């Protein structure tokens, strides 16, 4: 068991940074649920709805990706 | 893959081959266990850095090598596609087969999407959409080729790995133990996926957002900037005018945040994917990585389409006047049957 307190802080911090993915996960779930309901109601517009759904997912997902980038930066670039 | 029915692999006729391969994998990984590579965010430099006028410090990195390879692939695709299309036209409009047929199907799907969203601007916007999708797609899928990220040059490093010579070349065999006889080395891959370099994604995002503004100005003239600096209702409707003005400023901020989200979305997805492949290949050497390669195949496709589609949607929003009621783009809505 070696390492120092900075490394410990890095690992814990990266883990904490990824907590932001909670919101994105819930958001994507809501988006897809709404889109699937809409597709069930009028299947004729499934294509349009799907496009908008993917856009919405991309926007919600980008928040999680910010968290991921922050976590990766903490882990692999580190504190200077 | 061959036509003879006795040797089918995809038809799972000779299923034992898969089993043999699996056992072979397991034996190979027993003999030479995989190593978790050191993961580095900035691209590794292959040459010595030189000082260029205006540009500053420049070194040929391994992501640039990937860029060149993907450009080459795109050029070959483009030429073979145009030749196939011309041959198909000359033969009286028969269907294009092979890879060119796949490209045609992709382009048709993308054009349909553009027409649904952009209406009469589809012909102008489509080239940007398709180019971005193709470039990002080829760059993302380079990750799936064996040897990318794993074949490279060994450099002596302080916190490196022990190495061992084999029949195929020198390879890294294990984590650093103290006082290794031959010294410790680190692998610098010759090719690393371009999308894991922030320079590429930021450049692409800057181009995309800049072209969104260009399309807006081309469609609406100077009036496009009213979206950002909206003083038209400031004095007629005191309270809502101020709110409109604030909304305009927020639009300005959102243009800059578009650059950020474009570049970080692509970078984060693909970089996380390559880290995932490293870690899975190290933890479960046999078979498991195949599944994650399939996942990366999907992620690469989705991210390419999302990058292009967001650009396309922003462009089609920019060409529509923001005073919704005057020109409520009738064709954009009517293009979808």
Residue A3 maps to a domain: no
Q: Is residue A4 part of a domain?
A: no
**Does B138 have pLDDT greater than 90?**
yes
Per-residue pLDDT tens digits for B202-247: 999 999 999 999 999 998 888 888 888 877 777 777 788 888 888 8
CB spacing of A47 vs B271 below 8 angstroms: no
In sequence order, what are the residues at sequence separation of 6 or more whose Cβ sits closer than 8 angstroms to the Cβ of residue B309? Answer: A51, A54, A55, A58, B113, B129
Between B214 and B2, the more confident residue is: B214
Q: Given this model, what pLDDT does residue B337 score?
A: 39
Nearest CA-CA distance, residue A19 and chain B, Å: 16
**Res. B92 pLDDT band, cuts 50 70 90:** confident
Long-range contacts made by residues B75-84, C-beta under 8 angstroms, separation at least 24? Answer: B77/B103, B77/B134, B77/B138
All residue ranges of chain A with pLDDT < 50 are: none
Set of chain B residues whose Cβ sits within 8 Å of the Cβ of A54: 302, 305-306, 309
Residue B50's contacts (CB-CB under 8 Å, 6 or more residues apart) are B57, B58, B59
**Which of these, B72, B46, B40, lies nearest to B58 by C-alpha position?**
B46
Mean pLDDT of B292-301: 89
CA B116 to chain centre: 24
Residues with Cβ within 8 Å of residue B132, at least 6 apart in sequence: B204, B208, B304, B307, B308, B311
Buried b (16+ CB within 10 A) or exposed e, B288-306: ebeebbeebeebbbbbbbb
CA–CA separation, B244 and B236 (whole Å): 12
Task: Indicate whether this complex's ipTM tops 0.90.
Answer: no
A62 contacts in B (CB within 8 Å)? Answer: 261, 264-265
Residue A42 lies in a domain: yes
For A29-48, what is each residue's pLDDT tens digit?
999 999 999 999 999 988 88
B5 vs B232: which has the higher pLDDT: B232
Least confident of A60-69, B30-39, B219-228, B302-311: B30-39
Q: Is the residue at A61 inside a domain?
A: yes
CATH of the domain at A73: 1.20.20.10
- Among B261, B271, B309, the residue with its CB nearest the CB of A55 is B309
CA B299, CA B322: separation in Å to the nearest integer?
34
- A/B interface, count of CB pairs below 8 Å: 48
Residue B159's pLDDT is: 67
pLDDT of residue B325: 41
A7 assigned to some structural domain: no
Angle between helices B198-220 and B238-283 (to 10 degrees): 150
* Contact yes or no for A48 and B116 at CB 8 A: yes
Q: Do A76 and B113 touch (CB under 8 A)?
A: no
Residues of A in contact with B41 (CB under 8 A): 72-73, 76-77
Task: For an interface test with A, give the residue of B254, B261, B298, B314 to mutate (most A CBs within 10 A).
Answer: B261
Within a domain: residue A50?
A: yes
Chain A residue numbers touching B264 (CB-CB < 8 A): 62, 65-66, 69
Going by their DSSP bridges, the two strands B185-189 and B152-166 should be labelled as: antiparallel
Label residue B168 by pLDDT band (50, 70, 90): low
d(CA B191, CA B205): 23
In a domain? residue A11: no
The reported pLDDT for the residue numbered B298 is 87
Q: Residue B2 pLDDT > 50, yes or no?
A: no
C-alpha–C-alpha distance, residues B333 and B120, integer Å:
11
Task: Tell me which residues of chain A, numbers 27 to 66, contact chain B at a CB-CB cutoff of 8 Å.
Answer: 47-48, 51, 54-55, 58-59, 61-62, 65-66
Q: Work out the percent of chain B whose per-residue pLDDT is above 70.
A: 84
Residue B46 DSSP label:
S
Q: How confident is the model at residue B331 (pLDDT cuts 50, 70, 90)?
A: very low
Q: What is the pLDDT of residue B334?
A: 41
The total number of structural domains that make up chain A = 1
Domain of A37 in residue numbering reads as 24-77
User: How big, in percent rounded to 5, are the helix, strand and coil portions of chain A?
Assistant: 90, 0, 10
Q: Of B72-76, B144-148, B281-285, B300-304, which one has max mean pLDDT?
A: B72-76
**Taking residues B4-32, what's their average pLDDT?**
72
CA distance B276 to A67: 16
DSSP codes joined into one string, B199-232: HHHHHHHHHHHHHHHHHHHHHHGGGGGGGTS--T
Residue A33 lies in a domain: yes
- Residue in B275, B306, B336 nearest the CB of A54: B306
> Which chain B positions have a beta carbon within 8 Å of A48's beta carbon?
116, 336
Say if B36 is an interface residue toward chain A (CB within 8 Å).
no
What is the average pLDDT value for chain B, to the nearest integer? Answer: 81
* B303 CA: distance to closest CA in chain A (Å): 9
Give how far A15 is from chain B: nearest CA, Å. 14
Distance to chain B for A37, nearest Cα, Å: 21
Whether the pLDDT of residue B35 is over 80: the answer is no
How high is the pLDDT of residue B336? 42
Name the residue with higher pLDDT: B76 or B113: B76
CA angle A75, B186, B69 (to 5 degrees): 90
> Helix B198-220 crosses helix B62-90 at what angle (to 10 degrees)?
50
- Mean pLDDT of the region B135-161: 83
Interchain proximity B309–A54, CB inside 8 Å: yes
With CA atoms as reference, the chain A residue closest to B335 would be A48
What pLDDT does B327 receive?
A: 43
User: Percentage of chain B surpassing pLDDT 90?
Assistant: 20
* Contact between B293 and B277 (Cβ < 8 Å): yes
A-chain CB neighbours of B116 within 8 Å are 47-48, 51
Cα Rg, chain B, nearest whole Å: 26
The residue of A11, A49, A61 whose CB has the most chain B CBs within 10 angstroms, and thus the best one to mutate to test that interface, is A61
């Amino acid at each position: 068991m070696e390492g120092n307190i900075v490394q410990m802080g890095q690992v814990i911090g990266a883990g904490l940074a990824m907590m932001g993915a909670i919101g994105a996960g819930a958001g994507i779930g809501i988006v897809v649920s709404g889109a699937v309901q809409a597709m069930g109601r009028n299947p004729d517009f499934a294509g349009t709805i799907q496009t908008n759904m993917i856009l919405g997912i991309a926007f919600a997902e980008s928040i999680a990706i910010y968290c991921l980038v922050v976590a990766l930066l903490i882990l692999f670039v580190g504190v200077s | 893959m061959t036509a003879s029915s006795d040797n089918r692999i995809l038809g799972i006729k000779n299923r034992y081959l898969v089993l043999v391969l699996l056992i072979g994998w397991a034996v190979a990984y027993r003999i030479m266990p995989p190593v978790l590579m050191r993961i580095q965010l900035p691209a590794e430099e292959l040459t010595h850095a030189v000082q260029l006028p205006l540009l500053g410090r420049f070194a040929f990195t391994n992501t640039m090598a990937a860029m060149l390879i993907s450009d080459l692939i795109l050029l070959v695709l483009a030429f073979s596609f145009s030749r196939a299309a011309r041959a198909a036209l000359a033969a009286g409009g028969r269907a294009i087969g092979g890879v060119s047929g796949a490209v045609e199907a992709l382009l048709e799907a993308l054009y349909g999407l553009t027409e649904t969203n952009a209406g009469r601007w589809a012909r102008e916007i489509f080239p940007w959409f398709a180019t971005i999708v193709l470039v990002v797609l080829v760059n993302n899928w380079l990750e799936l080729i064996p040897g990318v990220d794993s074949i490279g040059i060994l450099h002596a490093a302080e916190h490196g790995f022990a190495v061992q010579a084999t029949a195929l070349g020198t390879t890294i065999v294990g984590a650093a133990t103290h006082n290794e006889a031959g010294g410790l080395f680190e692998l610098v891959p010759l090719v690393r996926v371009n999308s894991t370099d922030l320079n590429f994604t930021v450049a692409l995002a800057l181009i995309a957002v800049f072209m969104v503004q260009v399309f807006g100005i081309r469609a609406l003239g100077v009036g496009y900037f009213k979206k950002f600096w909206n003083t038209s209702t400031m004095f007629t409707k005191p309270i809502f005018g101020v709110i409109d003005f604030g909304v305009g400023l927020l639009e300005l901020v959102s243009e800059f945040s578009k650059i950020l989200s474009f570049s970080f979305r692509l970078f984060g997805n693909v970089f996380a994917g390559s880290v995932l492949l490293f870690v899975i290949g190290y933890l479960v050497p046999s078979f498991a990585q195949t599944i994650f390669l399939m996942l990366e195949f999907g992620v690469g496709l989705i991210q390419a389409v999302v990058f292009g589609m967001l650009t396309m949607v922003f462009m089609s929003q920019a060409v529509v006047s923001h005073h919704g009621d005057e020109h409520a783009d009738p064709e954009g809505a009517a293009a979808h049957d």
